[in-house]
C-alpha cells in the first residue's frame, strides 16, 4: 500500500490507475479509524479496483471552540486497518498541502446544510464541502463512499457533487454499530466508561421513535420527544433531536405529520464528546432489536 503525502501524488496515482484500465474508489476520513471506516473501504473495494483512503483532520470544518487540536491522530494504526480492508493507497496530506498560502476559495452550501448540525456548527458544512471538493478534484473520476452516520453530510455532498458536475458517484453506507447499538465514531474515544454506558440512551431513543413510527405514529413532535426522553437523562447537553425530511434535510415543525419515510437525527454532548446519530424511519431497522 502506498503512502501519499502530496495532492499531486494522489492525482498521479489515480491517473495511473485509470490509465491501466482500473476504476478508482475514494474514502475520505479524518483518521482515528474504526470498523465503520473499514466497512467503507471494503465497500469501495467492491466497487473499484484502486481505492485511496484520505486521512486528513480538516481545519476548516472545525469551529473555534471545537476539538481540532485534541482530535486523535493515529496514522500508523490507521494505515494497518485500511490495508487490511483492501486499500491501495493512503493519502495523508499536510494542512499546508490542502490549504496552501493564498487559499481563499470555499464551497458555499445551501438549504441542505441549514438545519440540524448546520444550525449548531456554523461554517461546518462549508468546510466539509470545500475539503471534499478538493479531494474530488485531485482524485478525478471515481466512486466515493461515505457513511450514513453523518446523514446530513452525505446529503450535502450529494448535492454539491450534482450542482458542480463532479465526475464522482457517491455511495452512502449504513451506519456500523457496536454490538450494543452505539454508532461507531472516532469521538467515542473521548468517553469515560460511565459515559460510554450512558451513551446507550442514543440507540434507545432512536429505537423508541422507530417502534412508535412502525405502530403508526406520524406526528413529528411526538416522534422526536420519544427519542428525546431517552437522551435527556444521559446527555450533558442536547444540541438537537429533530425529525426532518430525509431528502431535503429540512427539520419538521413539531405539529407536522411526516410521510412514509422520515429522518430522525440527534446530536448531544456527553462530557467532552459531541455524538451524533440518526435513522430513516420507514426505511431502516432500528439500532436495537
Catalytic residue list: 37
CA-closest candidate to residue 71, choices 32, 26, 40, 15: 32
SS3 172: strand
Our finding on whether 26 is near ligand ATP (CB under 6 A) is no
Number of residues that bind ligand ATP (CB under 6 A): 18
Q: By beta-carbon distance, which residue lies closest to ligand ATP?
A: 147
- 213 is a site residue for ligand ATP (CB under 6 A): no
CB of 121 to ligand ATP, least distance (A): 11
Site for ligand ATP in 36-95 (CB under 6 A): 36-37, 39-40
Q: Which of 132, 135, 174 is nearest to 157 (CA)?
A: 132
Neighbours of 66 (CB within 10 A): 13
Among 185, 207, 210, 225, binds ligand ATP (CB under 6 A): 185
Q: Are strands 50-55 and 142-147 parallel, antiparallel or unpaired?
A: unpaired
The CB-of-275 to ligand ATP minimum distance in angstroms stands at 7
Dihedral of alpha carbons 150, 153, 159, 164, sign: negative
Point out which span in 105-113, 144-152, 196-204, 212-220 binds ligand ATP (CB under 6 A). Answer: 144-152
Spatial contact of 27 and 36, defined as CB atoms under 8 Å apart? no
* Residue 225 is a binding residue for ligand ATP (CB under 6 A): no
Binding site for ligand ATP (CB under 6 A): 29-30, 36-37, 39-40, 146-147, 149-150, 173, 175-176, 183-187
Amino acid at each position: 500500500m502506498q503512502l501519499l503525502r502530496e495532492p499531486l501524488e494522489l492525482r498521479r496515482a489515480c491517473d495511473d490507475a485509470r490509465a491501466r484500465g482500473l476504476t478508482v474508489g475514494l474514502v475520505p476520513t479524518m483518521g482515528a479509524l474504526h470498523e465503520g471506516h473499514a466497512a467503507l473501504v471494503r465497500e469501495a473495494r467492491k466497487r473499484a479496483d484502486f481505492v485511496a483512503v484520505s486521512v486528513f483532520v480538516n481545519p476548516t470544518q472545525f469551529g473555534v471552540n471545537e476539538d481540532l487540536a485534541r482530535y486523535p491522530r493515529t496514522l500508523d494504526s490507521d494505515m494497518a486497518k485500511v490495508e487490511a480492508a483492501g486499500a491501495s493507497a493512503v493519502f495523508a496530506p499536510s494542512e499546508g498541502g490542502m490549504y496552501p498560502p493564498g487559499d481563499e476559495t470555499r464551497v458555499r452550501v445551501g438549504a441542505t446544510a441549514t438545519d440540524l448540525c448546520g444550525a449548531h456548527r456554523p461554517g461546518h458544512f462549508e468546510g466539509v464541502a470545500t475539503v471534499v471538493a478538493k479531494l474530488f478534484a485531485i482524485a478525478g473520476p471515481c466512486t466515493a463512499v461515505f457513511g450514513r452516520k453523518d446523514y446530513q453530510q452525505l446529503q450535502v455532498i450529494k448535492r454539491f457533487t450534482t450542482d458542480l458536475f463532479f465526475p464522482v458517484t457517491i455511495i452512502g453506507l449504513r451506519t456500523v454499530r457496536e454490538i450494543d447499538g452505539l454508532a461507531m465514531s472516532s469521538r467515542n474515544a473521548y468517553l469515560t466508561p460511565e459515559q460510554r454506558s450512558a451513551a446507550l440512551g442514543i440507540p434507545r431513543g432512536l429505537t423508541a421513535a422507530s417502534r412508535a413510527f412502525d405502530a403508526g405514529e406520524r406526528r413529528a413532535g411526538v416522534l422526536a420527544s420519544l427519542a428525546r426522553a431517552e437522551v435527556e437523562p444521559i446527555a450533558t447537553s442536547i444540541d438537537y433531536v429533530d425529525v426532518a425530511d430525509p431528502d431535503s434535510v429540512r427539520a419538521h415543525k413539531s405539529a407536522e405529520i411526516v410521510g412514509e419515510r422520515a429522518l430522525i437525527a440527534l446530536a448531544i454532548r456527553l462530557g467532552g464528546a459531541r455524538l451524533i446519530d440518526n435513522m430513516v424511519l420507514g426505511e431502516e431497522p432500528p439500532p436495537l432489536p
